[in-house]
Chain A
Amino acid sequence: AQRVTQPEKLLSVFKGAPVELKCNYSYSGSPELFWYVQYSRQRLQLLLRHISRESIKGFTADLNKGETSFHLKKPFAQEEDSAMYYCALHKAGGTSYGKLTFGQGTILTVHP
């Protein structure tokens, strides 16, 4: 069975500092990886997905199949980045659309 691990429950940085939220996964097949974010008093929403290779709100994430990682990075953190971040895995192919396996989440706090 697949598993997603986010080793840090809490992560604190100062505004303008680089930030990296770690995500490791275990899955024998070809996964699709996502980062979801939940800002205070808002609903869970998609931040970015690895297949798009896009940068959203300054965040990027690269899928490293050798290290089975999908770390989320931003070179200069902003206070508005403070939120709960979840890494999620989807098994590519098949009929399991939308069946995601989530990590436990990392609370990011960006201090002024």
Chain B
Amino acid sequence: GAGVSQTPSNKVTEKGKYVELRCDPISGHTALYWYRQSLGQGPEFLIYFQGTGAADDSGLPNDRFFAVRPEGSVSTLKIQRTERGDSAVYLCASSLWGANTGELFFGEGSRLTVL
């Protein structure tokens, strides 16, 4: 595709439920990032992958959050036992590894609402 694709664009769930958010990066981009943007705030780093492995997951808030990228392309962010405080826009971005450091190509985001 032409850009980073994220699905679903909107997700409404109930407290305690399990949620999966999907990201399809730009073809050929080996680095993939997840950010979370709460209302009125800038994006906050969660995790990034180089290939299949998580190179840095220091931004994951707790062990309810987990992300995978099994084949080095599509990534899934998984949130267990959702809480109201998890409500946010989850942004995915990709880039070429080692090139144009800091230039990330973002998706449109998945807006998660936990009732």
Chain A interfacial positions (CB closer than 8 Å to B): 4, 9, 32, 34, 43-46, 49, 86, 88, 90, 92, 95-105
Contacts and interface: CB of A to CB of B under 8 A. Distances in A.
Interface residues of B, number: 29
Nearest to B105: A45
Contacts of B66: none
Interface centre among A49, A98, A100 (most CB of B within 10 A): A98
Given A44-B106, A96-B56, A97-B95, A102 B44 contact: yes
A105 B34 CA distance: 18
B42 A103 contact: yes
Given A32-B101, A49-B102, A98 B43 contact: no
B96 to A, nearest CB: 10
Contacts of B55: 95
Nearest to A101: B45
Contacts of B44: 102
Contact of B104 (A95, A100, A105): A100
Nearest to B103: A46
Interface string B41-65: 1111100101000011001000000
Contacts of B59: 99
28 contacts: A4-B42, A32-B101, A34-B103, A43-B106, A43-B107, A43-B108, A44-B43, A46-B103, A46-B104, A88-B102, A90-B101, A90-B102, A95-B56, A96-B56, A97-B31, A97-B50, A97-B101, A98-B31, A98-B48, A98-B101, A99-B33, A99-B45, A99-B48, A99-B56, A99-B59, A101-B45, A102-B43, A105-B42
B42 A98 contact: no
B41 A104 contact: yes
A102 B40 CA distance: 12
